[in-house]
Chains A and B, each alone.
Chain A
Amino acid sequence: NAGVTQTPKFQVLKTGQSMTLQCAQDMNHNSMYWYRQDPGMGLRLIYYSASEGTTDKGEVPNGYNVSRLNKREFSLRLESAAPSQTSVYFCASSDRITSNQPQHFGDGTRLSIL
């Protein structure tokens, strides 16, 4: 049982390049999330998808776009990467977006923008 799978695990980009981070879950969860984690800060929500076919902005959406491709997959795209987007990115999922549902995380994508 893989849980939440993220690809790639590591990536180095040059400023201005674009890329898509992939996330897939096999737990039949309805809700999926993208976070970034920077040193000394808590995880910050970038975008989330409460259910298939819906996406909403989180706390720090600027510079990112997302696609909920189907129930399993939720991708995060950087259209024009900037050094400020150097971070560790985590994808997560939960059964549904209610107050008492914990989230299950992938093992992260470490992204460096030069």
Chain B
Amino acid sequence: RKEVEQDPGPFNVPEGATVAFNCTYSNSASQSFFWYRQDCRKEPKLLMSVYSSGNEDGRFTAQLNRASQYISLLIRDSKLSDSATYLCVVNIDYKLSFGAGTTVTVRA
């Protein structure tokens, strides 16, 4: 079983729509959580950390559910520039474990 699993998508949404997706992790001892963004096989870039109480960064909202071992990302008012692959990342014993990514395509 993979340590981090994501729905690969793609999620095709019109501009202005809301899109949300989850990832699940298998190790209950996971210590911290992140969402990274990756464009066209370029380098991953940190989008946001995910905190236990949930957190927002502009149009992006991240939630953590430790009991069910999943993390979610919600994007409001989608922009064309949000088209990317979103990587769910879990810190286990000080090493990052990456999901394979969820692809989001925002169309005009």
Name A residues whose Cβ lies closer than 8 Å to a Cβ of B: 33, 35, 37, 40-45, 48, 50, 58, 88, 90, 97-100, 102-108
Contact = CB atoms under 8 A, between A and B. Distances in A.
A105 B32 contact: no
B32 A99 contact: yes
B44 interface: yes
Interface string B27-69: 0000110100000011111100100000000000000000000
Contact of A99 (B31, B43, B44): B31
A41 B94 CA distance: 20
User: Size range of the interface on B?
Assistant: 20 to 34
Given A42-B97, A42-B98, A102 B43 contact: no
A63 B96 CA distance: 21
Interface in B53-98: 87, 91, 94-98
B96 A45 contact: yes
A48 B46 contact: no
A99 B99 contact: no
Nearest to B41: A88
B41 A41 contact: no
A71 B2 CA distance: 33
